[in-house]
Amino acid sequence: MDRLSDLPDELLVTILSFLPTLTAARTSVLCRRFHRLWERSPFVQIIYGNLMHIDKFVAQADRAILHRNPSYSLLSLHLQLSDLNRSLPDSYLPSLLTKAASLGLCHLSVAGYLHLESTLPCSFSIKTLKSLALPNILLGQHHVLPSGFALTSLKTLSLGLSRIDPAKFNQLLSQLSSLEELQLRINSTRWLTLSSQTIRKLKLVFANDYPEINTLGLGLFLPSLESLHLENDGFLDSLFNIHGEVPLLRTAVINLYGIRPKDASAVRNLLSFISRVEDLSLHIKESLLVQHPVPILLEPGKNMPNFPNLKRLDMGLCFHEHHFAAIVNMLHNCPALELLKLVHEIPRFTYLANNRKRKDWRSKLPRNADGNRRCAYFRGLHLGENRKECMKLLVQKRTFKRHAQHRTRT
């Protein structure tokens, strides 16, 4: 039976809206009823592929946006441009965005290197936007982010910047009166300060492609911030030192890669900065240049910061002797902890790390129910007996290791 023909047009359009525009357009060959039905979808997603000719891309964009019936609203637009926009006239993308703005566009995402002089002002001038994602923006010396606009409805902003001027960027944030979520990927900067009264969720990714330009300082003055995600996805000569005010921070995800012994102070400073959180996911991978296990999580001669509110801790780390001692020290400073997950990250032993000895980097975690030391999982630590058993197990493991070393030396 042909059940599709029994469905109303509104429901068919809803079904087609879940498909990429190219796939939805192919339904036009089914029958006369489907010939132009896909053009009414409020969600347009046009992805440029390697096999797609520029004329085909333009034809899709024209039918789905430029020649769209004004009575059909456009809620979401995603354009994946790759290198295609270099072959397009400079005025084509602004014309698409202008038309989309007239249709009540709420969500805009443009992936690909943009014609900055014309595309950026158009993107920031759509007053109906609730979310804006521009993951690839190359800013040269003469390029600046737009100003003098009023995006009063914008709640989510995602930008990928090659360079950033903190003063001008904070001026941009001050104009976004409803902004609640900010995702920022930065290729290179020496220092960054963010200030906003409304941001509640922040994701910062430092992807440094230029070793001579390093992130040295990070200031966050976000009184409404509740969730923080920090990550480095490239070479950093030194880990950033963080400071600021985040009194309402409750959730933190920290992913650090290529960490070296000289970063121990910055790691401790970072942990102190987020010490009021209730939910913490901390994953640290040491640099390949570190040949022998050394304390990175715990700065020698100092204790771990106190975490008075921490209830859930998920930690991924190479739990060699120094780091295992650090986690035992940390647990003594987490009186409210309920759930603990420890995952041993096996270090690499190839290329630059070929001088590492596996016996020095083995996991010191206690054996779990599966008989391995790759993962330790503890629940119900808010109960007194469970917490005592957990601490006893970890402390005994550490003490046994020290006794074993002492007998070997004797």
Question: For residue 396, is it within any domain?
Answer: no
Amino acid identity of residue 389, one-letter, is: E
Angle subtended at Cα 348 by Cα 347 and Cα 350, rounded to the nearest 5 degrees: 160
Nearest to 258 by CA among 229, 296, 302, 228: 296
Q: Could you count the other beta carbons within 10 Å of the beta carbon of residue 319?
A: 26
Q: What is the DSSP letter of 39?
A: G
pLDDT along the chain (410 residues), means of 10: 80 87 82 82 80 75 87 88 67 86 90 65 85 74 59 88 79 88 83 91 80 67 95 73 92 91 87 94 88 81 85 92 82 88 87 80 83 87 80 66 47
Question: For residue 220, is it within any domain?
Answer: no
Instruction: Please report which helix (H) or strand (E) contains residue 241, including its range.
Output: strand 241-245
Amino acid identity of residue 10, one-letter, is: E
Question: For residue 34, is it within any domain?
Answer: yes
| Per-residue pLDDT, 221 | 94
Rounded-to-integer distance, Cα 295 and Cα 325, Å? 9
Rounded-to-integer distance, Cα 46 and Cα 81, Å? 8
Q: What is the DSSP letter of 98?
A: H
Question: For residue 248, is it within any domain?
Answer: no
Helix axes 321-331, 384-409, angle to 10 degrees: 150
Rounded-to-integer distance, Cα 248 and Cα 274, Å? 10
Q: What is the DSSP letter of 179?
A: -
Sign of CA dihedral 318, 323, 325, 331: negative
What range defines the domain where residue 103 resides?
1-137
Instruction: Please report which helix (H) or strand (E) contains residue 377, including its range.
Output: strand 375-378
Spatial contact of 315 and 347, defined as CB atoms under 8 Å apart: no
Instruction: Please report which helix (H) or strand (E) contains residue 312, including its range.
Output: strand 312-317
Spatial contact of 183 and 208, defined as CB atoms under 8 Å apart: no
> How is residue 342 written in tokens?
């420890």
Question: For residue 394, is it within any domain?
Answer: no
Rounded-to-integer distance, Cα 243 and Cα 217, Å? 8
| Per-residue pLDDT, 188 | 65
Instruction: Tell the burial category of 288 from Cβ atoms under 10 Å away from its Cβ (0-12, 13-18, 19+).
Output: middle
> How is residue 88 written in tokens?
């397009």
For the range 350-358, what are the long-range contacts, defined as Cβ-Cβ under 8 Å and sequence gap of 24 or more?
Answer: 351/288, 352/288, 352/289, 353/288, 353/291, 355/291, 356/291, 356/292
| Per-residue pLDDT, 214 | 52
Question: For residue 96, is it within any domain?
Answer: yes
- Domains identified in the chain, total number: 1
Contacts of 222 by beta carbon, 8 Å cutoff, 6+ apart: 194, 195, 196, 199, 202, 244, 245, 246
Q: What is the DSSP letter of 266?
A: H
Question: For residue 160, is it within any domain?
Answer: no
3-class secondary structure, 325? helix
Rounded-to-integer distance, Cα 122 and Cα 107, Å? 14
Spatial contact of 241 and 217, defined as CB atoms under 8 Å apart: yes
| Per-residue pLDDT, 140 | 45
Question: For residue 65, is it within any domain?
Answer: yes
